């Protein structure tokens, strides 16, 4: 293990197994529907998204949007910035938002509420990680990879100050790594 990690929470093998299960579940649930439009919420979801879409055996389409509420701290700022030009691409579509982690829930609540006003046919959320202990918005994911404790995690797309996104496992950073 790298010496900047306190522990590894999920190995890449555990993640791959669960992502495969999620992909199969989504494929099964949409097999008689219009194939979903999968939207990757950048940047944190990029690794999960790339793996997940390849486990869904449906003629789906993909789009990207940017959202952030963190800045460079490890505690959610409460402000959500959304950058998206998807408005006319989501009308009448079965949309699945793909998020790396739901923490306070503010980001996904904001995006969901916004999209629901824009004429989507259906809207679901798929999150790799869920930290329910820290929820402040009343929001849930329809598909969840893993429920995790209230720890700041990095790897598999998740960052601390834009680093560690390429770490293949999901780990808990030693507190001294973000102390200053």
Give the number of other CB atoms < 10 A from CB of residue 149. Answer: 10
Question: Among residues 36 and 105, whose Cβ is nearest to ligand IMP?
Answer: 105
112 touches 123 (CB < 8 A): yes
> Annotated catalytic, 103?
yes
| Contacting residues toward ligand IMP, per CB under 6 A | 44, 69-70, 76, 99-107, 152-154, 158
130 binds, among Mg ion, ligand IMP, none (CB under 5 to 8 A by kind): none
CB of 77 to ligand IMP, least distance (A): 9
| Contacting residues toward Mg ion, per CB under 5 A | 44, 100
Question: Among residues 58 and 153, whose Cβ is nearest to ligand IMP?
Answer: 153
Catalytic residue among 103, 133, 138, 161: 103
Which residues does the annotation mark as catalytic? 103
């Amino acid at each position: 293990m790298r010496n900047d990690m306190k522990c590894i929470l999920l190995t890449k093998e555990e993640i791959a197994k669960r992502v495969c299960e999620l992909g199969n579940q989504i494929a099964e649930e949409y097999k008689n529907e219009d194939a979903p439009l999968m939207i990757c919420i950048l940047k944190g979801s990029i690794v999960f998204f790339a793996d997940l879409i390849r486990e869904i055996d449906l003629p789906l389409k993909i789009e990207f949007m940017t959202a952030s509420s963190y800045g460079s701290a490890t505690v959610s700022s409460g402000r959500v910035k959304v950058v998206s030009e998807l408005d006319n691409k989501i009308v009448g579509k079965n949309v699945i938002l793909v998020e790396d982690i739901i923490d306070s829930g503010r980001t996904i609540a904001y995006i969901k509420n916004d999209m629901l006003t824009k004429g989507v046919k259906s809207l679901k959320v798929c999150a790799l990680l869920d930290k329910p202990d820290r929820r402040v918005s009343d929001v849930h994911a329809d598909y969840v990879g893993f429920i995790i404790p209230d720890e700041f995690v990095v790897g598999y797309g998740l960052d601390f100050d834009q680093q560690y996104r390429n770490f293949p496992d999901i780990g808990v950073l030693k507190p001294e790594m973000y102390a200053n």
